[in-house]
Structures are given as C-alpha cells and as structure tokens.
Amino acid sequence: MKHPWSGLRNIPRNIWLISVTALINRAGMMVLPFMALYAVEELEVSPAKAGLILAFYGIGAFISAPFAGKLSDRLGAVILMRISLIGSGLFLIIYSFVTSFIAFLLLTLIWAVIAEAFRPASMSFISDEVPAERRKTAFALNRLAINLGMSVGPVFGGILSTINFSLLFYVDGLTSIAAGVYLIFCGIKDRTSVETEPQTNIEDELPKKKFSILSNRKFLYYLIAIIPVQIVFFQHIGSLPIFIVEQLMFSKSTFGFLMAINTVMIILIEVPLNDAMRMWPDWKALMLGAILTGIGFGLTIFGFNSYILIFSIVLWTFGEMIFFPSAGNYVAEHSPENMRGEYMGYFQMTFSFSFMIGPLLGTIVLEEFGATVVWTGTFILGMITAAMMLNLKSKKG
C-alpha cells in the first residue's frame, strides 16, 4: 500500500530549502498577532484605533503584491526573498523604538510592503521549480512549513509579551534575518537568475511581448471569483472569535483549542491530501474547496455546543486545505513563464484585499445584524465562488 506521504520523495531539494526558510521565518512570527494589543497597552490607544493597524498592514500588502511580482521576474525570486527577509528583519528591530501611534501606522504600512514581497516571489519560485503534476503537493508542503512555524511563534510571543513587549520585535526581526541568511548560504539556485540559452520559437515569444494581464479576461475572472471565499475564510480572525467568545460564552482557552484543530489538521493531512488529489482539474478542486468552506462556516449558525463547532471547523479546514494549494497551482498553470512573478503578485493582491475587508466586514455585520446574517452570508459567498469555478471550466481566455 502506498504511504500517504510518499509524494514528498518527488519534491525537488530547492522546494525543501524554501520550506525550511518559511519555517524559520514563521517560527519567529510574533509581532503581527500582538500588534493591536501592543498598541493598546504600550502606545495607550483605544481598541478601535488599534484595529487600524491590521488595516494598514493589509493596505501595505495590497500595494506590495503587484510590484513585488514584477521585481521577482526581473531580479530573480531568490534575490527578492533575501531582500524581503533581511530588510523586514532590520525594520522590525527599529520598530520597537517608535512611541507615536501615527508613526507606528506609517511604519506598519512600510513594513508590510517589505515583508509581503516574500510571498509572490516564493510562489513564483515554487511554480518554476516543480513539474506541473507535483505543484499542489509542493504548495501544500510550503503551507505545512508556514503553519508549523505559526504554531510556535505566537505561543512564544505570548510568553515574551509578559516579560517585555519589545522582545517580540527583536526576536521576530532576528528570526527573519536568520531566514534570509539561511537562504543566502543554503545553496539554493534560482533558475530565473541563471543565464540560459534564449529560445528562438517565434510563436512563443511574440505573444509574450504583447501580452498583458489586464487583457487576460479569464485570469481576471478567476481573481474576482476567489475573493468571496477568501472573505469567508478570514472570518476565522474576525467575526468567529467574537461570536464564539462573546456571544456563545465559550472561554478564550476553548477558542484556542478549537483553532488548534485547524492547525493540527493542516500539519497532518494537507500534504498527503493534495498529493492524492494532484491529478484533479484545478477548477474542480477549487469548487469543492469553496463548497466545504461555505458549508463549514455556515454551520457555525448552529454552534450551540462544542461538537457542532468542531464539525464546522473540520469542514472548512478541509475546504482550506483543498482550495489554497489549488488556487496557487491554477495561477502557475495559466501564467506565462516570464511573467509568473507578476501573476503571483496579482493573485496575492486578492488575499490582501480580502484581509483588509473580510474581518472588518464580518465584525460590522455581526454587530449590526447578528450572527444569523453573518453565517448565512458566509455560506452564500462560498457558493458564489463555487458557482464561478464551475463556470471557469468552460470560460475562454
């Protein structure tokens, strides 16, 4: 019988090196989860003002994505990732000396631009390094490394914050620099930065010179199609914790346990699941992921006890594990090789946009209209993306 993790044997060494880099970086990720709390306790601003920090980070990420994608194509993905990691690490250390809230907001915007340049570059690199039939597994492996790191960083961040909040900036900055240094000395090679013999196929080269993302209607349709379900997914940091703790009256520790289910499932299941589904058409996997996400969050409306909440989290976690690797793979499959970074940048913009408006929209609707409207809305949004993915199958570029 085939071992469920056997697909990892076919993943190139470069992908493992990028995944280790992501693990090192994310293991020190402790500033972003505690930024709002830092603003309230150290900068002494209201919770409402502290909430602006995440919005500014989202704006910075939104601005960064397309430019970072183009830079990745021109400079090389590995070079840009090194600059992003070391630059954001140095920036974080300086960050801790800021005492003005306005300055803190502006620096958050700049930090996001630098730090988020890593994502489209890494996704472009993975797309170039892996054969098409193994891309979903490679994306899943990278997400595994990120989630492993994120399961460590916030825990240590909580401990350090009780000692001295400034330690979060130092440790996060140093781990980011360490990831950048590792990427310099690990022996990774970027194919986009290595000179190769030019191809002389005129049919291939002519369309590339004239091609524009804005003229690719099918890709633009795809970007619009994935936004509704991404807004749904970001409720896990928006309306979901407020609903579970404030309205259902579960303890914060219970909410932490419920979210741990998501992380553990991703660590144990996502890689073998995507390896098993690697031959699925992207539109079909994306449609299934959107359906499971919509139903999972929609079931939260019946979350009167922990068993229903656990079942709903299991459902939308399966949706997340199927949807996001397939989403990245679709972009890799439908982007010209010499513009892959730019395509990944625009793809990343949809996440930044959803991050900006998803949690804010969910909490406003929860406060003004109630939980029934929120969770019914998440179900509808998930089904909208699913229906659009079905249409994507036959849509022409």
347 and 245 part of one domain: yes
Instruction: With respect to residue 8, please indicate whether it lies within any of the assigned structural domains.
Output: no
247 and 380 part of one domain: yes
What pLDDT sits at residue 312?
97
Instruction: With respect to residue 222, please indicate whether it lies within any of the assigned structural domains.
Output: yes
Q: What number of other Cβ atoms are within 10 A of residue 305's Cβ?
A: 10
52 and 174 part of one domain: yes
Identify the residue whose tokens are 């002519």: 206
Q: Are 84 and 110 in contact (CB under 8 A)?
A: no
Among 190, 224, 247, where does a domain finish?
Answer: 190
171 and 306 part of one domain: no
**Cβ neighbours of residue 38 closer than 8 Å, sequence gap 6 or more:** 31, 161, 165, 168
Q: Are 168 and 161 in contact (CB under 8 A)?
A: yes
Closest CA to 319 of 376, 380, 373, 382: 382
For the chain, list residues with pLDDT below 70.
1-7, 47-48, 190-212, 394-397
What pLDDT sits at residue 206?
39
183 and 234 part of one domain: no
Q: How far apart are CA 60 and CA 109, in angstroms?
A: 5
173 and 223 part of one domain: no
Instruction: With respect to residue 210, please indicate whether it lies within any of the assigned structural domains.
Output: no
Question: What is the number of alpha carbons within 13 Å of residue 210 lying toward its C-beta?
Answer: 6
Q: What is the pLDDT of residues 89-128, one digit of tens each?
A: 999 998 888 888 899 889 989 999 999 999 999 999 998 8
Q: What is the pLDDT of residues 139-179, one digit of tens each?
A: 989 989 988 888 788 778 878 878 888 888 999 999 999 99
**Cβ neighbours of residue 183 closer than 8 Å, sequence gap 6 or more:** 17, 21, 78, 81, 82, 85
Q: Which two tokens stand for residue 397?
A: 């570029």
278 and 226 part of one domain: yes
What pLDDT sits at residue 6?
63
Instruction: With respect to residue 395, please indicate whether it lies within any of the assigned structural domains.
Output: yes
Q: Which two tokens stand for residue 388?
A: 């659009």
CATH code, 76 = 1.20.1250.20
Instruction: With respect to residue 206, please indicate whether it lies within any of the assigned structural domains.
Output: no
**Cβ neighbours of residue 178 closer than 8 Å, sequence gap 6 or more:** 24, 28, 89
Instruction: With respect to residue 208, please indicate whether it lies within any of the assigned structural domains.
Output: no
Q: Which two tokens stand for residue 360?
A: 């804010």
Q: How many residues does the chain have?
A: 397
**Cβ neighbours of residue 368 closer than 8 Å, sequence gap 6 or more:** none
What pLDDT sits at residue 154?
74
221 and 172 part of one domain: no
Range of the domain at 383: 215-397
Instruction: With respect to residue 7, please indicate whether it lies within any of the assigned structural domains.
Output: no
Among 157, 190, 223, where does a domain finish?
Answer: 190
Instruction: With respect to residue 197, please indicate whether it lies within any of the assigned structural domains.
Output: no
**Cβ neighbours of residue 255 closer than 8 Å, sequence gap 6 or more:** 241, 244, 245
* Count of the separate structural domains present in the chain: 2
61 and 170 part of one domain: yes
164 and 287 part of one domain: no
**Cβ neighbours of residue 203 closer than 8 Å, sequence gap 6 or more:** none
Among 130, 155, 190, where does a domain finish?
Answer: 190
What pLDDT sits at residue 1?
53
Q: How far apart are CA 350 and CA 234, in angstroms?
A: 12
What pLDDT sits at residue 47?
64
Question: What is the number of alpha carbons within 13 Å of residue 105 lying toward its C-beta?
Answer: 11
41 and 178 part of one domain: yes
139 and 41 part of one domain: yes
